[in-house]
Amino acid sequence: MASPADSETWMTLVVQPNDTNPLGTLHGGRLLYWMDECSSIAATKHSRAVVVTVSVDGVSFRHAIELGSVVTIRARVTRTFRTSMEVFVEVWAENIPRNQRIKCNEAYYTFVALDERKQPLVVPDVVPTNEEERRLFDGAMRRRQLRLILAGKLKAEDADALRALFMPENPDSKK
């Protein structure tokens, strides 16, 4: 067992001309690649195994990132299931001369740890240690069920955590 802080991983990069799109801002695919790299290191730290990306969701591009910006990426494992791990990734862009720093992106990456035969490997649990880590831990079950439904790997009627969110038990039914 380990806390999210044990897998926390930071990456800092500068947006170079070959990272940009025709508008001169950071190419979205390049940023997703950097986020994948940072989050796979977090998942590797947690599992101590080779990991592969199995899904990416909740990606939002809130602000374009300019050429020359310093990009900081933070990733940590929020929760594990049997062989899979959810990693929460956050991205900030900084213009150091102007003393400006803004949060630009967030996403959830899911990784599966593999053994030497490239078969899914059971991973250690995550133990949240503060309020934010507990919030991410609790939400991870709902996000997992949603992504498995969308991937056709879970029936909607079996998604108990989602059902509890959207259809809380009628308080009158207990009377």
120 in contact with ligand COA (CB under 6 A): yes
- The 10 Å Cβ neighbour count of residue 167 is 8
55 in contact with ligand COA (CB under 6 A): yes
Among 39, 78, 83, 145, binds ligand COA (CB under 6 A): 83
Residue (92 or 108) nearer to ligand COA, CB = 108
Question: What is d(CA 124, CA 4) in angstroms, rounded to the nearest whole number?
Answer: 12
174 in contact with ligand COA (CB under 6 A): no
Among 3, 25, 53, 95, binds ligand COA (CB under 6 A): 53
Question: What is d(CA 140, CA 85) in angstroms, rounded to the nearest whole number?
Answer: 10
Question: What is d(CA 50, CA 43) in angstroms, rounded to the nearest whole number?
Answer: 9
52 in contact with ligand COA (CB under 6 A): yes
Residue (65 or 136) nearer to ligand COA, CB = 136
Strand ranges of the sheet holding 100-114, from the earlier edge strand across to the other edge: 9-14, 70-80, 84-95, 100-114, 50-61
The stretch among 48-56, 66-74, 92-100, 134-142 that binds ligand COA (CB under 6 A) is 48-56
Among 102, 151, 156, 164, binds ligand COA (CB under 6 A): 151
Q: Where are the beta strands (DSSP E) in 15-155?
A: 50-61, 70-80, 84-95, 100-114
In DSSP terms, 12 is beta-bridged to 72
The stretch among 9-17, 59-67, 77-85, 89-97 that binds ligand COA (CB under 6 A) is 77-85
- Token pair, residue 98, equals 């102007």
Which amino acid, 156? Answer: A
Q: How far is the CB of 102 from ligand COA (least distance, A)?
A: 29
User: What does the binding site for ligand COA look like in residue numbers (CB under 6 A)?
Assistant: 52-55, 81-84, 110, 112, 120, 147-148, 151, 153
